[in-house]
Structure 1
Amino acid sequence: MTDAVLGIDFGGTKIAVGVAAPTGELLASTRLDTDAGSGAAQAVERALRAGRELAPNPAAVGVCSPGIVLPDRILLAPNVPGWGDLRLAELVTAEFGAVPVAVGTDAKAAGLAEYTWGVLGEADPAVYLSLGTGLAAAILIGGRVLGGANGAAGEFGYNVRDRSAPDAFASGAAPLEEAVGGIGLGRRATSLFGVPTSAAQLFALAQTDSRASALVDDALDELAVHVANLAIAVDPELMAVGGGFLGAADFVLPALRRRLAQAVPFPPKVVPAHFGADASLRGALALALQALGAQPRA
């Protein structure tokens, strides 16, 4: 259909491509391996080819990626050779011609999807928390995602954990993310148990193992402090939790709610996000529809 829009979500390990109707209804989708070791160029080329197969003549294209997506580069980019040098919008335009193209950061795009079709549509302000391998937030005010002066609003994975800690962005660190994000939790669990252990495995072990439970409780309490500080600064009506940690909602949601109730003068309601693994793809589609000037709502 000629009025369909195309969305592409680039990730460090997978690429999701989808096509949607003007209403936002997902019509078709596919997934590709990023093959990060082979570099950025091949990943983009394969994704655009898959997009062309799904939507030969899209009305608009939305693309999202980790990092801060600028016209001529991607800052804070994932560990894919050449990713920081990508000009995503130019590459998409070269493939699809003079159709509206919108590019953005994956967590912010996911937050836009939650506002457009998910649980955040009636809230103002609202916050979408992407909690998983990375930590980031999309702050929505009046239905618009706050970008910030450099496109980096909500990148709270870079929060400083302690004033005496030497690790910070200037030394190449993302302190909070490295401590309580998915990779950081996996590293701490591996050290604790002496065998490779992922964050997902840690959460599963925490059901029965006291050492795992203690590690999870400690990490989530630290994470919750930073979420509470964000809530104090923004005063949101609603916070939606998405990302990989949503698979451990029985641990994550109570920890956040407990700390917010204790620390925030006006605690927001904390709910699971509507979209799971496809949140950023839905966000890319929302960007495409936004580029058309459409305002689809469930």
Structure 2
Amino acid sequence: MTDLVLALDFGGTKIAAALVDSRGSVVRSARVPTPASDPWEAVVSLASSVVGDAEVAGVGIGSAGPLDAVAGTVSPINVPSWQAFPLRASVASLFPGVRVELAGDGVCMALGEHWRGAGRGSTHMVGLVVSTGVGGGLVLDGRPFGGRTGNAGHIGHIVVEPGGAPCTCGGRGCVETVASGPRMVTWARRAGWQAPDDADAALLAAAALAGEEIPLEAFDRAGQAVGMAIAGAAAVCDLDLAVIGGGVAQAGELLFEPVRRTLKTHAGLSYLAGLEVRAAELGGDAGLVGAAALVR
């Protein structure tokens, strides 16, 4: 009997697939950019190339959302051609008789870090991906928690600036409007940062590390927003850990210092005294490892 699980990680910018063994190790993987039009054929091709002639015990799928975990459908904000797309059933048709599980990509990131990364030993944690967006997922009592529809843990859409900038979700002032890489760059430009047209969060981080005032302030704003969101989620869910990954988090203490400073102010309840913040350890494999864990 094989111990291999096919893990799929579907997002608005990339699609990844991997074979993951029972220890949570990635045996073989590949990824491709998400096509601008209908990406289903890319999913089929990628899954086929990664599986090859191997036998799989199941398939775990992490997808950008919103999604409906009960119906098995996904409606990623950045993939307009997929609205209520039956992703779980479509993947199941490729692997008849094999168990197929679907969860949000934030849940899968959190679950992967919980199983094999920075979340080991935690029983109640939130995982965050701070990148081109701000995603998140919950592991409660050691198990992934998707809530009523599978969308629980969307920490990027906690409001931290009432009346703030419009968000892709339709709201205003969400964490994502302050802490996502593109929004940080936009804010820095408006504040007077002189940068090339193709400037991104990595260049903003380099400028901040060089001591430039506006980029430093951009990271401070982002860290405060993330810290406030963690404090709110921790108060509601009685969390002991927050694990933060993603491209913006690669800036290290530029982001983590204001996060921890903000928690000292906003996470004052006695039961949050032991709340920790850690950097993610699995990088781009976290979602794949977590997707495989859905089947485990």
The TM-score bracket by the shorter chain reads 0.7 to 0.9
1:224 to 214, 217, 227: 227
Pairing 1:233-248 to 2, within 5 Å after superposition? 233-248=236-251
Which SS does the other structure have where 2:283 is aligned?
A: coil
Pairing 1:127-276 to 2, within 5 Å after superposition? 127-165=126-164, 167=166, 171=170, 175-191=174-190, 192-193=193-194, 195-196=196-197, 197-208=199-210, 209-265=212-268, 266-267=272-273, 268-276=275-283
Paired letter, 2:131: G
State the number of aligned residues: 286
Alpha carbons of 1:21 and 1:181: their partners in 2 closer, same or farther (altered >3 Å)?
same
1:226 and 1:172 map into 2 onto residues whose CA distance is 15
1:151 and 1:65 map into 2 onto residues whose CA distance is 11
Contact 1:189-1:199 at 8 Å conserved across structures = no
Which SS does the other structure have where 1:104 is aligned?
A: strand
What is the deviation of 1:236?
1.5
Tell me, which stretches of 5 or more residues in structure 1 are unaligned?
291-298
Q: Which residue of 1 aligns with 2:60?
A: 62
2:102 and 2:92 map into 1 onto residues whose CA distance is 11
Paired letter, 1:5: V
2:10 and 2:116 map into 1 onto residues whose CA distance is 21
How high is the TM-score relative to the length of structure 2? 0.87
What is the deviation of 1:157?
1.8
Alpha carbons of 1:174 and 1:14: their partners in 2 closer, same or farther (altered >3 Å)?
farther
Q: Which residue of 2 aligns with 1:85?
A: 84
Q: Which shifted more, 250-259 or 93-102?
A: 250-259
How high is the TM-score relative to the length of structure 1? 0.86
Alpha carbons of 1:119 and 1:176: their partners in 2 closer, same or farther (altered >3 Å)?
closer
Q: Which residue of 2 aligns with 1:23?
A: 23
Contact 1:20-1:26 at 8 Å conserved across structures = yes
2:178 and 2:266 map into 1 onto residues whose CA distance is 22
What is the deviation of 1:105?
0.8
Tell me, which stretches of 5 or more residues in structure 2 are unaligned?
none
1:227 and 1:234 map into 2 onto residues whose CA distance is 10
Q: Deviation digits for residues 88-110 of structure 1, max 9, x if unmatched?
A: 11111111111011111111011
Q: Percent of aligned pairs with the same residue? A: 29
Q: Deviation digits for residues 13-66 of structure 1, max 9, x if unmatched?
A: 22221112223222111222222x13222332323322432x542111111111
Alpha carbons of 1:144 and 1:100: their partners in 2 closer, same or farther (altered >3 Å)?
same
1:262 and 1:157 map into 2 onto residues whose CA distance is 20
2:172 and 2:248 map into 1 onto residues whose CA distance is 21
